[in-house]
A and B are shown apart, each in its own frame.
Chain A
Amino acid sequence: MSKLKDTKAKLSIFGELWAFMRVRKKWWLGPIFLVFILLGLLIVLTQGSALAPFIYTLF
């Protein structure tokens, strides 16, 4: 996958989230999602590491 395609695919998450909020009518999630996505993009684009998953699978 080329770098450009990869970045495009990652940015497509904004469209997906918009569609999700529109269908679920959970607009209050918007600002929260935005912060998480920006932080997430930072981690993903810099290939940083996340902490080990939560011990149970609920989250």
Chain B
Amino acid sequence: MNILGISCFYHDAAAALLADGQLVAAAQEERFTRKRHDSNFPINAIRYCLSATKISANSLDYVVFYDKPFIKFERILQTYFGTFPRSFRSFLKALPVWMKEKMWIRQTIMKELDYAGEVLFTEHHMSHAASAFLVSPFEEAAILTLDGVGEWETTTKGWGRGNEIQLTGAIHFPHSLGLLYSAFTYYLGFRVNSAEYKVMGLAPYGEPRFADTILQELVNVQPDGTFCLNMKYFTYHYGLTMTGKKIETLFGHPRREPESTLEQFHKDMAASIQKVTDTIVVRLAQHIERESKMKSLCMAGGVALNCVANSKIFEHTNFQDIFVQPAAGDAGGAIGAAFYIYNTVLGNRRSFVMRHAFLGPEFNNGEVEELFRTAAVSFRKLEQSELLKETARLLDAQKVIGWFQGRMEFGPRALGARSILADARNPKNQSVVNLKIKYRESFRPFAPTVLEEKTSAWFDWNRPSPFMLFIAQAKNGKERIPAVTHSDGSARLQTISRDQNSLYYDLVSEFDKLTGCPVIINTSFNQRGEPIVCTPQDAWKCFLRTEMDHLVIGNFLVNKSDVPPYLVDEARKETFEPD
């Protein structure tokens, strides 16, 4: 049985394909169109999923869309009518898109895929819940989903057992933790639905001196974690912005202009909203733990990408294990929608655990060699063991490496298939990689990859974290691995085991053998504003545009100093809008 899951039209459009209950392919549309957070109908991602499994659209048993558009439209109309006339401008902007696109999802799917079978719709937060629980390693678990908004729900709680999921409670729009965080992202001059992770990265540089004000004035949090926003401070439910003058008056500071200097006030504000988020997430988790009496927790929704808050759950609850869906945002909804139909609606037993996120396209050595020959650039082709030794040696020699191997990751994190790698021991590498390669803000931290079996020797952490969704304190991090240790001593951890990605594991092992350090910098293979690279051609162009020293694709190694300068000059003409 083949089931295609689709998420699109809001942000991070994606497709995922299940074959007999196994997740065989998944990809985000942005990787193909090269448009960050592309929300358009994911026709390229769908074509990839079908071609990867060599089936046609007519071989699909079901196509499932990850939310229910009519209920969403009902929420939008009710919200607009409730806030009229302030909502009029927003209403005029939104309406044509609804009339042209968002109401016609079944018809769009049938037309674009030339598909005549059944199209099903699952509820947004059920898709999130299913995307976490049904692919988790747990037979039973509590479930928490948190995002901006789905149909009406912004937060749901519940439980899963076997192939059954029950959502037992919800918080409804406009009261939303995701939108609260996004409102502060906006107030701090960053891009909404894109740069929330910058606020999280900025938080450790500040003091949460506004947290009490936020809790007293903006959000009323109950002991069980349920909350209610004071909507007089927000404008997102009727306007084209997230916050207005009232919040500026409350904090005595105007909204930061995008790209302007970050002052201590902004850092303190980031710390404050992060603390409030932690408080709400922890209280919700504590309540769900008490209510469900379950030992494991599954999380999804955009807020579940907040690894700082995720880690607080471990500190403040007795959950023995937490599974966070690696594509926790809307992209992962495509997975959840498909699994919900296969397992819960059709009653099939669960037979898949998401142990890695390498579900995207891959390319063979022939395609890579042709690329380099066409570009007339000199390269070396090495046997695998030699390639690993040479790459480890280059990392030790303080070179920055573009690493492109195997199937592309699904979700926002590069996990060793489309990564930029560097030596975590060198304190200069944080600014070097930020400013010369990623062309992004210097405060942005980098994540470490560590060999799973050596994690506890380097971090206060003793469990797998394969998807970079938890933070841990680095042991003597400032001295030993300063490039991946944040100002508060924390690191956004990725543990790697051989069964998740043998090649990447072996590379880190080689580096460990050479240096005695099983930790390297792993950041996504892209520059600011660009989606993570998908094809060797994307990687080649990104390599040329930036100041990376070496590029490793498949068995091939290219040294930047061997690249003719005119190729670099040509590539640098391509620019991306900052995110």
Instruction: List residues of chain A with CB under 8 Å of any chain B CB.
Output: 1, 5-6, 9-10, 12-13, 16-17, 20, 24, 26, 29, 32, 36-37, 39-40, 43-44, 48-59
Contact = CB atoms under 8 A, between A and B. Distances in A.
A57 B99 contact: no
A13 B104 contact: yes
B498 to A, nearest CB: 39
B100 A44 contact: yes
Interface residues of B, number: 37
B114 A1 contact: yes
A16 B100 contact: no
Those 4 A-B pairs whose CB atoms lie nearest each other, nearest first = A40-B99, A50-B100, A59-B94, A50-B96
Contact of A12 (B11, B101, B106): B106
Specify the main secondary structure of chain A where it touches its partner. Answer: helix
A43 B97 CA distance: 10
A13 B179 CA distance: 31
Nearest to B12: A57
Nearest to B240: A55
Contacts of B375: none
Contact of B74 (A1, A9, A26, A48): A26
15 contacts: A5-B116, A9-B107, A10-B104, A36-B98, A40-B98, A49-B100, A50-B101, A52-B97, A53-B94, A54-B90, A54-B240, A56-B236, A58-B173, A59-B76, A59-B93
Contacts of B94: 53-54, 59
B132 interface: no
Contacts of A39: 99
B104 A32 contact: no
A9 B100 contact: no
Per DSSP, chain B at the interface is helix
Contact of B103 (A5, A13, A29): A13
B77 A40 contact: no
A6 B107 CA distance: 8
A49 B182 CA distance: 30
Nearest to B149: A58
B278 to A, nearest CB: 24
Nearest to A55: B240
B39 A53 contact: yes
Given A17-B70, A24-B74, A29-B77, A54 B107 contact: no
A56 B71 contact: no
B107 A32 contact: no
A49 to B, nearest CB: 8
A10 B105 CA distance: 10
Given A32-B77, A54-B90, A59-B76, 19 more contacts: A9-B107, A10-B104, A12-B107, A13-B106, A16-B106, A24-B71, A36-B99, A37-B103, A43-B99, A44-B107, A50-B96, A51-B96, A52-B97, A56-B236, A56-B242, A57-B11, A57-B39, A58-B173, A59-B94
B568 interface: no
B288 to A, nearest CB: 26
A16 B70 contact: yes
B193 A9 contact: no
B110 interface: yes
Nearest to A20: B70
B100 A1 contact: no
A37 B217 CA distance: 41
A51 B77 contact: no
A58 B440 CA distance: 28
B377 interface: no
In this complex, the member of B96, B114, B116 whose beta carbon has the largest number of chain A beta carbons within 10 angstroms is B96
A36 B242 CA distance: 27
Nearest to B109: A9
B104 A44 contact: yes
A9 B182 CA distance: 38
